Amino acid sequence: MIYLDYGATSFHKPPQVYRAVQQAFRTCANPGRGGYGAAMEAQNRIFHCRQEAARLFSCNPEQVIFTSNCTHGLNIAIRSIVKAGSSVVISGFEHNAVTRPLHALGAQINVAGRKLFDWDDTLNRFEDSLKGADAAVFTHVSNVFGYILPVEEMAALCRDRGVPFVIDAAQSAGSLPVSLEKLGADFIAMPGHKGLLGPQGTGILLCKDQAQPLLYGGTGSESIRQDMPDFLPDRLEAGTVNVPGIAGLCEGLKYLNCLGVERIHKKERLQTKRCAEALQKLGMQVFAGEHQSGTLSFLPPMDCEEAAEKLAKMGIAVRAGLHCAPLAHESAGTLETGTVRVSFGFDAENWHTDRFVQAAAKLRANVM
């Protein structure tokens, strides 16, 4: 199988990730709940993972909160800064993990910037929308089109105006530089199983300051109190964390710290460009631009779901549909059709793209 769905999860991972998960199952007990060897082993693995994350994202280890996924982290972040009736600015390319919590809270949502790969439009409309805003939530990279938003400039606008903001780094963490220190975000949420190459069921929330807990319960610290501890990470980590998953995530982070995310982005971007050029030569509509990650959407000469099914039968794994992001499709004019999405990962190679293009050419030939 040629796996080109890294936007959904990193199906392939460095072998040390698998080994760490298996070892943790055999050697780790409940962290922070005992002073014996197996409990301390679990605690050490969690601490080392915080250190690796802090190194990659330019923050302090205690600012690294472990979550079950990016959606979990986004819910904590959004509920910490958004109340019912709050005026919230978002981009035109947000995932449902952002829009649904905002709708559930009864926020007043202002969508700013709907032009793909156009930084000037994004920044101008975002700046105008910040007037009177209570908060901002925006993605770093569109999960549908791979559009890399100008998050550094958007963050600066928020800081200058004193608007708290959250960044959704689901599609950028592990592929692009993400720095809590540089961006100055109140929160940055990300999954552990995509670009960070960890197991599913893991995520990270980077917190600048205090936040409101989403879950309440035991932390292994200050147990005499009936309110949650007032310090991080304990305040946001109620219950037992996913120790085997975090052990695997730690190895994924180590791999990225050693290799460098810039190198990964360069590999992914090369294949995105090659893929876009080849599909355009086949006469397909391709959504490509200057500010793009390793993700590419296109419209095949048939129904998108049917195209993805045919590609799957040829051994090519891609995703079709709305990708849990109807707002992004509305912005790009593909809400009625959806798209077929190709997303490359850390192991992207020329032959992956070549095999995919050969399969796409067969799709084209079958309808001519």
Mapped to the 3 state alphabet, what secondary structure does 60-86 carry?
Answer: CHHHEEEECCHHHHHHHHHHHHCCCCC
Judged against a pLDDT cut of 80, whether residue 366 lies above it is answered with no
**Mean pLDDT for the stretch of residues 50-61:** 98
Confidence of residue 153 (pLDDT cuts 50, 70, 90): very high
Percentage of the residues of the chain whose pLDDT score is greater than 90? 93
Q: How many CB atoms lie within 10 A of CB 239?
A: 10
Ordered by where they begin, the domains of the chain are 2-10+261-367 (3.90.1150.10)
Q: What's the confidence (pLDDT) of residue 32? A: 83
Q: How many CB atoms lie within 10 A of CB 350?
A: 10
Confidence of residue 237 (pLDDT cuts 50, 70, 90): very high
Judged against a pLDDT cut of 60, whether residue 210 lies above it is answered with yes
Judged against a pLDDT cut of 60, whether residue 368 lies above it is answered with no
Percentage of the residues of the chain whose pLDDT score is greater than 70? 99
Q: How many CB atoms lie within 10 A of CB 166?
A: 28
Judged against a pLDDT cut of 70, whether residue 208 lies above it is answered with yes
Instruction: Tell me the pLDDT tens digit for each residue of 326-340.
Output: 999 999 999 999 999
Alpha-carbon distance 135 to 132, whole Å?
9
Q: Under a CB-based contact definition with an 8 Å cutoff, are residues 190 and 196 in contact? A: yes
Alpha-carbon distance 224 to 237, whole Å?
17
Alpha-carbon distance 277 to 356, whole Å?
13
Sign for the CA dihedral angle at 244, 250, 255, 261 comes to positive
Confidence of residue 367 (pLDDT cuts 50, 70, 90): low
Judged against a pLDDT cut of 50, whether residue 117 lies above it is answered with yes
Judged against a pLDDT cut of 90, whether residue 323 lies above it is answered with yes
Q: Is pTM, for the whole model, over 0.75?
A: yes
Judged against a pLDDT cut of 50, whether residue 256 lies above it is answered with yes
Judged against a pLDDT cut of 50, whether residue 282 lies above it is answered with yes
Q: What's the confidence (pLDDT) of residue 19? A: 98
Instruction: Tell me the pLDDT tens digit for each residue of 283-315.
Output: 999 999 999 999 999 999 999 999 999 999 999
Q: What's the confidence (pLDDT) of residue 329? A: 98
**Mean pLDDT for the stretch of residues 193-205:** 98
What are the CA-CA distances from residue 254 to residues 223, 233, 238, 247 (Å)? 33, 21, 26, 11
Alpha-carbon distance 144 to 128, whole Å?
25
Which residue matches tokens 């929330």?
Answer: 205
**Mean pLDDT for the stretch of residues 97-107:** 98
Nearest Cα to 7, choosing from 275, 299, 257, 320?
A: 320
Q: What's the confidence (pLDDT) of residue 61? A: 98
DSSP labels for 81-150?
A: H--TT-EEEEETT--HHHHHHHHHHT-EEEEE---TT-HHHHHHHHHHHTTT-SEEEEESB-TTT-BB--
Confidence of residue 231 (pLDDT cuts 50, 70, 90): confident
Q: What's the confidence (pLDDT) of residue 23? A: 98
Instruction: Tell me the pLDDT tens digit for each residue of 343-365.
Output: 999 999 999 999 999 999 998 88
The phi and psi torsions of 340 (rounded to 5 degrees) equal -100, 130
Across the chain, mean pLDDT equals 96
Q: What's the confidence (pLDDT) of residue 365? A: 82
Answer whether the bond into residue 101 is a cis peptide, omega within 30°: no
Measured CA angle at 110 (ends 107, 113), to 5 deg: 150
Sign for the CA dihedral angle at 293, 100, 106, 115 comes to positive
Query: Which positions ≥6 away from 347 have C-beta within 8 Å?
Result: 12
Nearest Cα to 341, choosing from 332, 67, 349?
A: 332
Q: What's the confidence (pLDDT) of residue 33? A: 82
Q: Under a CB-based contact definition with an 8 Å cutoff, are residues 207 and 63 in contact? A: yes
